[in-house]
Amino acid sequence: MDTRYCHVDARRGWVALNTQPHRERIALESLSHQGFYGYCPLIRKRISHARSTQNVLRPLFPSYLFVQIDPSMQRWRPILSTFGVRTVVRCGELLSFVPDRFIDSLKAREIEGVIVRPSSPFKVGQQVRIADGAFNGLVATIIEMDERDRLVVLTNFLNRSVNVKLSSCQVLWV
């Protein structure tokens, strides 16, 4: 077993739990009743349905949450039978702890209990250079952006205007 990615510690720490789909809140409540402190980072997501759009809160990591455990003081195996929980992320039979700094960095990005995405370095109308794929090296203009860091750019290719969908990591500032 490769233990480079398996952080095992005997002190209080954070462990990731895999939950049943859309049962993160139920699992958190059940864990709280058992004396465990859980954390499920949320993001605001725009949902479109039947000609209406609304902002809803969704887990940052769907079907996962974190729970703080002190294995020297708490029995953690009851978590496996908690309503809404599928399993505990482990390395074999040992608990696999998430570094505290990871949880702290998530909490530091929260505003009013919701993780705030960093602002995009790009803007509609901005000129960029395509840095990857079939259109590598061409200069394009951003005409649309979505919440998944995808860009629609307009470029001139073979004397025609072409719309291309790209990830924001596939373009560079001009």
Listed by start position, the domains of the chain span 13-115, 127-173
Q: How confident is the model at residue 49 (pLDDT cuts 50, 70, 90)?
A: confident
Say which residue, 50 or 89, is predicted with more confidence: 89
Q: How confident is the model at residue 152 (pLDDT cuts 50, 70, 90)?
A: very high
Identify residue 159 by its one-letter amino acid code: N
The whole-angstrom separation of Cα 39 and Cα 36 is 10
State which CATH number among 3.40.50.1860, 3.30.70.940, 3.90.1150.10, 3.30.70.990 fits the domain covering 13-115: 3.30.70.940
Residue 9, pLDDT > 50, answer no
Task: Kindly list the strands in the beta sheet with 42-49, ordered across the sheet, starting from the edge strand earlier in the chain.
Answer: 52-59, 42-49, 114-115, 110-111
CATH topology match: 13-115 vs 127-173: no
Alpha helices in the chain (DSSP H): 24-33, 100-108
CATH code assigned to 127-173: 2.30.30.30
